[in-house]
């Protein structure tokens, strides 16, 4: 067998060291999780969130239906469905649909909101109202925002240029705290080590706590709606089930 001269072998090794190493991006696995919902210091119900992914195609759902007694505090329930694409490059938002029910003494109202990323128009469309916004690279609704931030964090990528989208506005969020160590108590465990993020825009002020030991899964999120002067808190009430 012919052997390579020593200098040739050293050259090949040196070239090999210079070649880029392919590192697979971290993924958010499919999961089921339940969050307690707090309003005005009262626990008014639970939000059940679930994400199922087939290859890069992901469907995230959230159901928040308060029990009857809680209607004195909040008269609405919501089922939300979000379509996302999770790849090596991004956790990309594609579509959001919300089925909202409001109950009054004399009537019940139902409304549907649909937001779609229209690649053909390079726009985001609010389908029911025919409103359009620019097609931003990193854009999320209020439910998927926490998971979009989680994806960036587990892949050690920047969290700038993130936009919040709803049926009224599209607005960039600004971070005032990033990856701050914080110890919190959760219903299933005390003195939990987390990473805290705080961000805001013209519509909301929010805080998000992620759990490093659970792949930076969201543990708590507090959102203040500035327009309605209403604060809502979602708190993970037991460890999520990963599929």
pTM, two decimals, is 0.88
Out of 14-18, 56-60, 78-82, 164-168, pick the least confident. Answer: 14-18
The answer to whether the beta carbons of residues 240 and 26 sit under 8 Å apart is: no
Residue ranges per domain, the chain? 26-242
Q: Contact 164/171 with Cβ under 8 angstroms? A: yes
| Dihedral sign, Cα of residue 80, residue 186, residue 160, residue 225 | positive
For the purposes of burial, counting CB atoms within 10 Å of the CB of 99, is it exposed (0-12), middle (13-18) or buried (19 or more)? middle
Q: Is 4 within 8 Å of 13 (Cβ atoms)?
A: no
H helix intervals, the chain? 6-18, 145-154
123-150 pLDDT tens trace: 999 999 999 999 999 999 999 999 999 9
What's domain 26-242's architecture? Clam (2.50)
What tokens does 174 get? 């600004």
Q: What is the pLDDT of residues 190-205, one digit of tens each?
A: 999 999 999 999 999 9
């Amino acid at each position: 067998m012919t052997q390579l001269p020593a200098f040739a072998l050293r050259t090949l090794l040196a070239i090999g060291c210079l070649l880029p190493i392919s590192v697979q991006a971290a993924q958010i696995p499919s999961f089921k999780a339940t969050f307690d919902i707090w309003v005005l210091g009262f626990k008014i119900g639970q939000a059940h969130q679930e994400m199922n992914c087939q290859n890069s195609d992901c469907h995230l759902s959230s159901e928040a239906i308060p029990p009857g007694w809680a209607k004195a505090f909040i008269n609405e329930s919501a089922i939300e469905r979000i379509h996302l694409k999770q790849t090596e490059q991004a956790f990309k938002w594609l579509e959001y649909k919300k089925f909202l029910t409001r109950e009054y003494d004399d009537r019940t109202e139902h409304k549907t909101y649909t937001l779609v990323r229209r690649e053909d128009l390079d726009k985001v469309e609010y389908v029911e109202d025919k409103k359009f916004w620019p097609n931003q690279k990193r854009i999320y609704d209020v439910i998927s925002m926490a998971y979009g931030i989680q994806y960036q964090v587990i892949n050690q990528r920047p969290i700038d240029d993130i936009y919040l989208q709803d049926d009224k506005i599209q607005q960039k969020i600004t971070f005032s705290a990033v990856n701050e160590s914080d110890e919190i108590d959760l219903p299933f465990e005390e003195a939990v080590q987390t990473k805290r993020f705080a961000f805001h825009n013209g519509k909301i002020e929010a805080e998000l706590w992620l759990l490093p030991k659970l792949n930076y899964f969201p543990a708590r999120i507090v959102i203040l709606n500035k327009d309605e002067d209403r604060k809502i808190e979602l708190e993970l009430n037991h460890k999520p089930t990963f599929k």
